[in-house]
């Protein structure tokens, strides 16, 4: 899926919430804590990582988000 960022960045937990991957902020934090979120091929453990256009987020084997 593609996601257009409004502004210059979006925090990782916000992205998980607005895309519907996580239902709450607590759920988003649990997803990151489970060590299944990759940013540009690298494991991302920072819940408030500032994502920018061009980043690719992968969660498990099923979810891929390209930021624009």
Residue-wise pLDDT tens for the chain (68 aa)? 999 999 999 999 999 999 999 999 999 999 999 999 999 999 999 999 999 999 999 999 999 999 99
Q: Are 12 and 48 in contact (CB under 8 A)?
A: yes
What's the rounded Cα separation, in Å, for the pair 27 and 13?
9
Q: What CATH number did the domain enclosing 25 receive? A: 3.10.290.10
Q: Are strands 50-51 and 10-11 parallel, antiparallel or unpaired?
A: antiparallel
Tally of domains within the chain: 1
pLDDT of residue 41: 97
**What domain range includes position 21?**
2-67
Q: What is the pTM of this model?
A: 0.91
What kind and span of H or E run contains 27?
A: helix 25-33
| 68: DSSP letter | -
């Amino acid at each position: 899926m593609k996601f257009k960022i409004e502004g210059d960045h979006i925090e990782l937990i916000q992205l998980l919430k607005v895309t519907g991957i996580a239902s709450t902020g607590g759920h988003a934090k649990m997803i990151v804590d489970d060590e299944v979120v990759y940013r540009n091929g690298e494991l991302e453990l920072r819940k408030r990582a500032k994502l920018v256009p061009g980043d690719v987020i992968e969660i498990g084997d099923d979810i891929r988000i390209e930021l624009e």
